Amino acid sequence: MAAAIRLSRLNLGLTSTNPSVACLIVRDGVVVGSAVTAPGGRPHAETQALAEAGAAARGATAYVTLEPCSHHGKTPPCSEALIAAGIARVVVSVTDPDERVAGRGLAMLRDAGIAVETGVLEEAGREALAAYLNRQTKKQPYVTLKLAVSADGMLGRLGEGQVAITGPVSRGQVHVLRAETDAILIGIGTALADDPELTCRLPGLEARSPVRIVLDPRLELPPASKLAQTAQTVPVIAVTERDRRDDPGFLARQAALEALGVEVLICDPRKLDALLTALATRGISSLLVEGGARTAQSFLDAGLVGRISLFTGPKAIGKDGVASPFVSGRMPDGFSLRHTARYGADVLQEYERDD
């Protein structure tokens, strides 16, 4: 199951509204078929792994990270495919909260005489499926708040634009996070101060750059910014308060951004709860919030953060620093430390929300 969970991460951020699930078919201790949900969400992992296993699937064990589906959607149910292939035992990490499945997939397998075990490595399985599970149960994307802070908890230096706080290994890791995520979000303060591109620039993973979203109440994103200039290649959404007909320059700014391919979404950027619901209806299941300070604080205050990825660099910034919500290493209540890693001179601490 650990191997299946690792494999399932391969297509995170690529499977649209479907979860990225992995399936391993094991016969006499040998993996005879393995697959992960295909980009776009179809075909599912089970049918691909069964096809690879062929006749060797008869009498084998299938390890699946999420309960096999039981409903006739755009594809026939995976439970039926497992039964038809003669699988003897199915081991599942997480049961599916989708009301069309919710235990029915397991019941179908048991009714067919297949031995079924569930809840295997469930914590790790839930972590890999966090975005899907969150969207199913809360109808909102799963929010990861990523921040890089100096040794004294600062995000940057006032008026200095991007300040290198962490080293190249951490920055590479952030690009991996981007590759696994459906959308990245920042506040307009960061867009103006840093002019970031927010793409995934790891060799070979460039095509996995997520949609980029800017909370921009007054529609101030400059047409010359890297975000606007690259909107034709990687989508950019500027979330703005309302149709500001009283603001004479609004329509011209909107037209200039739209001509570059930026989508202007009229949805109050301060009502984050409603914004997240709107993003979920567009199929966005995971959202990486990359700051700045005020945006990070609003997401925390609204109780919308599921995971915090806190990268801490070795140097202090001191006075003139832009304070992060985590000065002096204090974590917000309701989060627990799950992982710690070292990337060169930096430390990553990953916190998960307790509920």
Binding of ligand NAP at residue 279 (CB under 6 A)?
no
Q: Which stretch binds ligand NAP (CB under 6 A): 44-52, 72-80, 106-114, 288-296?
A: 288-296
Q: Which stretch binds ligand NAP (CB under 6 A): 74-82, 190-198, 277-285, 329-337?
A: 190-198
Binding of ligand NAP at residue 325 (CB under 6 A)?
no
Binding of ligand NAP at residue 215 (CB under 6 A)?
yes
Other beta carbons within 10 Å of 217: 16
Binding of ligand NAP at residue 270 (CB under 6 A)?
yes
Q: Is residue 127 annotated as a catalytic residue, yes or no?
A: no
Binding track over 65-94 against ligand NAP, x by CB under 6 A: ------------------------------
Q: Which is nearer to ligand NAP, 286 or 295 (CB)?
A: 295
Q: Which is nearer to ligand NAP, 106 or 193 (CB)?
A: 193
Q: Which stretch binds ligand NAP (CB under 6 A): 29-37, 38-46, 126-134, 188-196?
A: 188-196
Binding of ligand NAP at residue 321 (CB under 6 A)?
no
Enumerate the active-site residues.
46
Q: Which residues bind ligand NAP (CB under 6 A)?
A: 147-148, 155-156, 162, 165, 186-190, 193-194, 215, 217, 269-270, 272, 290-295, 298, 322
